Amino acid sequence: MILGVDPGLTRCGVGVIEAGANRRLSFIHVDVVRSDPHMSQDLRLLAIYNGLAAKIEEFAPDTVSIERVFAQENRNTVLGTAQAAGMAMLAAAQRNIPVALHTPTESKMAITGNGKAGKIQMERMVARLLNLNTLPTPADAADALAIAICHALRPAGALEGGEREQHLTPAQRQWAQAAQRANHGRGVKRGM
């Protein structure tokens, strides 16, 4: 079971899926953990932590998959989002549950094969992959499901020969190749 988190200080999306044999995905739960914007920052973070800890206790996931914070123009939004992501990591670490971080681009690539897919395209694919009759709402919850799906569909490692590549979908193949190029670029910069 994978618990996906779309971190946010006001609304923190939580999506839970099961990834079965042959990467068959099943919808389990979706919700939003909220904090009151009129409260002090410390109490808001405590509310997010308590809500996430309760979800982790309720569903006992094998992995917590969190959307990696990326640069935005609004510094306060980035800080609050990063702090909420930290609360999710803390809640998972306290329970010895592995944490995975995925960027929005990785999520889009894994689900649609297009790292620049729009929000509606992502929501439709999430609904399709989880056999939902309606699009998941609100957007924070849909993003949390997407992060969980991204983790479920990620390649088990770098591509290792033609046999492994044959078992990947086109979107997974593109995602793995992009990750491989990115890792190679990081190794070159470090002088490896």
Contacts of 4 (CB under 8 A, 6+ apart): 13, 14, 15, 16, 17, 64, 65, 66, 67, 144, 145, 146, 147, 148, 149, 150, 151
| Spatial separation of the C-alpha atoms in residues 166 and 161, rounded to whole Å | 9
Q: State yes or no: cis peptide before 37, omega within 30 of 0.
A: no
| Spatial separation of the C-alpha atoms in residues 52 and 93, rounded to whole Å | 12
Contacts of 174 (CB under 8 A, 6+ apart): 109, 113
* 188 CB burial (10 A radius; 0-12, 13-18, 19+): exposed
**Is there a binding annotation on residue 67?**
yes
Q: Is 67 a catalytic residue?
A: yes
Q: Is 36 a catalytic residue?
A: no
Considering the candidates 36, 58, 62, 67, report the single residue annotated as catalytic.
67
**Is there a binding annotation on residue 62?**
no
| Spatial separation of the C-alpha atoms in residues 54 and 79, rounded to whole Å | 23
Considering the candidates 6, 106, 123, 143, report the single residue annotated as catalytic.
6
Which is nearest to 157 in space by CA: 165, 147, 149, 145?
Answer: 165
| Spatial separation of the C-alpha atoms in residues 120 and 128, rounded to whole Å | 12
**Is there a binding annotation on residue 58?**
no
Q: Is 163 a catalytic residue?
A: no
Considering the candidates 57, 140, 160, 163, report the single residue annotated as catalytic.
140
Residue ranges of the annotated binding site for Mg(2+) are: 6, 67, 140
Could you list the active site residues?
6, 67, 140
Residue ranges of the annotated binding site are: 6, 67, 140
